Amino acid sequence: MSNLTAVAVALLGSFGIGMLIGPLVIRGATKLKAGQNILSYVEQHNLKQGTPTFGGIIFLTASVVVASIFGCWRQSVSRMALLVFLGYGVIGFLDDFLKVKLHDNKGLKAYQKIVFQLVVAVLVAYFAFKNPNVGSKIQLNFGLGGFDIGVWYIPFAVVTFIAMSNAVNLTDGLDGLAGTTTSIYIASLTVINLIMLFDSVELGKSTYSLELRSLAITSSALIGGLLAFLWFNNHKAKIFMGDTGSLALGGFTAAQALFIKNPLIAVLVGIMFVISCISVIIQVVSFKLRGKRVFLMAPFHHHLELKGVNESKIVGYYAIVTLIAGVTALAII
């Protein structure tokens, strides 16, 4: 099977599995009364109270099953990407479980989340640093080549994991928002992955080619699973991904950028994740120092909501900006 055919089959297969298990996950979450507890100060979402959560299980299951069928676990890079995906998904699942169990929106304490994330991030960062197919060299783009940051790669990678996982988590606030934005992000980096794959095949780097092929298939499977999830998550959502999904996606987006040796381009393609983080930081700092808020509510998508922008339009705006950023990234590459 050719590389492009494998990527396409993985996407379609994962989408099909996601569409099959989606109704089962929704029915199970509803039966278990695993409803989302809406934050009291997000009054515009009161009607969403009780919508089932744990929807991340849909794309987690679909993508991991398809990646396993293709034997992606046999390649070290994609195996680690899957372990990050599942590891962060487990952290999110624990958080969601506690929220449902205790009937509040607290879940894991902030320090507990960070500690768990750090453990996974440090292990994966060390793996990437020691792996000959990843290493400590990162691309600078704009024709500037690469730069080897040596042992500093480990803390750099750890920060990347923590930042990306929490950025995607912050962006998960509207029906279809995180899923749509992340699927475009992953698709953009998958194209870069495929370009690298074609180059490595031409250069006769067989071992590296296998790693890139496997990672591309894994990424494509996740896109298919996400598209199936969005079928049920588009406005008005039948299920939310919860932290089970958002943390898993954040972990994978970081791993994907690091494993194709281009973490800096992820800042561009993930610009809406960056905006979510920055808006929260600005809001908190401004309120602490000046006692005033810059935004009506943070993250930024809630500010737009309170300004009267329709929820579906906000998702559309985020998708368009991310798509433009993805195309720009490809032009830079």
Question: Each residue of 232-282: pLDDT tens digit?
Answer: 998 888 999 999 999 999 999 999 999 999 998 889 999 999 999 999 999
Beta bridge partner(s), residue 146: 139
Going by C-beta distance under 8 Å and a sequence separation of 6 or more, which residues neighbour residue 27?
A: none
| Helices and strands of the chain, counted as H and E runs | 12, 2
pLDDT of residue 147: 84
In-domain check, residue 56: yes
pLDDT(35) > 70: no
The confidence band for 45, taking pLDDT boundaries of 50, 70 and 90, is low
In-domain check, residue 269: no
pLDDT of residue 11: 97
In-domain check, residue 278: no
pLDDT tens per residue across span 136-176: 988 877 667 778 899 999 999 999 999 999 999 999 989 99
A 10 A CB-CB count for 156 gives 16
With beta carbons less than 8 A apart as the criterion, state whether 72 and 13 touch.
no
In-domain check, residue 248: yes
How would you label 276-291 residue by residue, b for 16+ Cβ within 10 Å and e otherwise? Answer: bbebbeebeeeeeeee
Structural domains in the chain (count):
1
The confidence band for 111, taking pLDDT boundaries of 50, 70 and 90, is confident
Q: pTM here?
A: 0.93
Residue type, 138: I
In-domain check, residue 19: yes
In-domain check, residue 176: yes
pLDDT tens per residue across span 48-71: 666 888 899 999 999 999 999 999
pLDDT of residue 207: 86
Percent of the chain scored above 90 by pLDDT? 71
Going by C-beta distance under 8 Å and a sequence separation of 6 or more, which residues neighbour residue 231?
A: 18, 19, 22
pLDDT of residue 215: 97
What is the helix (H) or strand (E) element at residue 331, kind and residue range? helix 311-332
pLDDT of residue 48: 63
pLDDT of residue 39: 55
Mean pLDDT for all residues in the chain: 91
A 10 A CB-CB count for 175 gives 22
What is the helix (H) or strand (E) element at residue 17, kind and residue range? helix 3-31
Domain region containing 130: 3-140+148-261
| Whole-angstrom distance, CA of residue 183 vs CA of residue 178 | 8
Give the C-alpha distances (Å, rounded to integers) separating 45 from 42, 166, 300. Answer: 6, 21, 15
pLDDT(41) > 70: no
In-domain check, residue 325: no
In-domain check, residue 13: yes
Give the C-alpha distances (Å, rounded to integers) separating 123 from 127, 255, 259. Answer: 6, 12, 14
